[in-house]
């Protein structure tokens, strides 16, 4: 990801403006947690993010998100590292306890309408960042392929919250009977524009109001 795309993504998803950050050489800070969410894009050098359950090594152009309360340590080698760092308030705590906090709400306690409105506002940027993602991320393609193999050719599958429909289109390409639904009209609009071959397979719809009984059982 470029610094420009990172900055636009931060603005779109409620992060503060990214600030340039230097990580000194051979730094091995103790494990710690923040009471805010943080995201970092590496610009130079290598940053090793050590979590309680895994280690992620970030090269230039790679980013990661550290949710509030997550124990972690950002470590460097002899060359140190330089990056862009952005923070935002801990959204889960602000919503009163996470995804299951309120009946009928989604993550952060927002309603489906609020979520849709937010995704409508970033739909073009989202498509710019992710529409061609499957061309570049082999692990995602392999994951989808193993799902397709498991359900078998022609199986009817639902991509709920499909965004611009790139995964729906890929499932279709692999021979499944794939339908994508998303409550954000702008996401579906982009999908219908980009994947004209099967536009009727994408529909504007909230996950809880699916018109297909087989999927709502």
Ligand X SMILES: C[S@@+](CC[C@H](N)C(=O)[O-])C[C@H]1O[C@@H](n2cnc3c(N)ncnc32)[C@H](O)[C@@H]1O
Query: 6 or 119: whose CB is closer to ligand X?
Result: 119
By CB under 6 A, which span of 27-35, 50-58, 70-78, 182-190 interacts with ligand X?
182-190
Q: How far is CA 124 from the centre of its chain?
A: 15
Binding mask 84-113 for ligand X (x = CB under 6 A): ----------------------x-----x-
- Regarding 161 and contact with ligand X (CB under 6 A), the answer is yes
Tell me the C-alpha distance between 190 and 77, whole Å: 43
- Regarding 163 and contact with ligand X (CB under 6 A), the answer is yes
Contact 34, 74 (CB under 8 A): no
- Regarding 167 and contact with ligand X (CB under 6 A), the answer is yes
- Regarding 184 and contact with ligand X (CB under 6 A), the answer is yes
- Regarding 115 and contact with ligand X (CB under 6 A), the answer is yes
- Regarding 182 and contact with ligand X (CB under 6 A), the answer is yes
CA-to-CA separations, 64 to 51, 70, 75, 122, 212, in angstroms, rounded: 12, 13, 14, 20, 37
Contact 205, 168 (CB under 8 A): no
Residue 59 is given by DSSP the state P
Two tokens, residue 96: 């009163």
- Regarding 202 and contact with ligand X (CB under 6 A), the answer is no
* H or E element in which residue 20 lies: strand 19-23
* H or E element in which residue 44 lies: strand 36-51
- Regarding 18 and contact with ligand X (CB under 6 A), the answer is no
Q: Which of 49, 187, 202, 203 binds ligand X (CB under 6 A)?
A: 187
Contact positions toward ligand X, by CB under 6 A? 106, 112, 115-116, 119, 130, 161-163, 167, 181-184, 187, 206-207
């Amino acid at each position: 990801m470029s610094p420009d795309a990172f900055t636009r993504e931060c603005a779109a998803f409620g992060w503060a403006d990214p600030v340039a950050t230097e990580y000194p050489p051979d730094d091995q800070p103790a494990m710690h947690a923040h009471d805010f969410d943080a995201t970092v894009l590496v610009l130079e050098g290598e940053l090793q993010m050590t979590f309680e359950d895994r280690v992620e090594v970030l090269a230039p152009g790679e980013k990661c998100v550290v949710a509030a309360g997550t124990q972690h340590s950002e470590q460097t080698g002899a060359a140190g590292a330089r990056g862009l760092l952005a923070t935002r308030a801990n959204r889960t705590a602000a919503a009163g306890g996470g995804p299951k906090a309120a009946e009928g709400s989604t993550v952060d306690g927002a309603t489906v309408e609020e979520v849709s409105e937010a995704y409508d506002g970033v739909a073009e940027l989202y498509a710019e960042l992710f529409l061609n993602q499957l061309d570049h991320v082999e692990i995602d393609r392999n994951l989808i392929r193993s799902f397709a193999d498991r359900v078998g050719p022609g199986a009817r599958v639902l991509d709920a919250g499909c965004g611009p429909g790139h995964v729906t289109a890929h499932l279709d390409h692999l021979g499944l009977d794939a339908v994508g639904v998303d409550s954000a009209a702008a996401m579906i609009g982009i999908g219908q524009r980009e994947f004209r071959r099967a536009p009727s397979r994408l529909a504007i719809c909230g996950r809880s109001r699916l018109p297909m009984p087989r999927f709502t059982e």
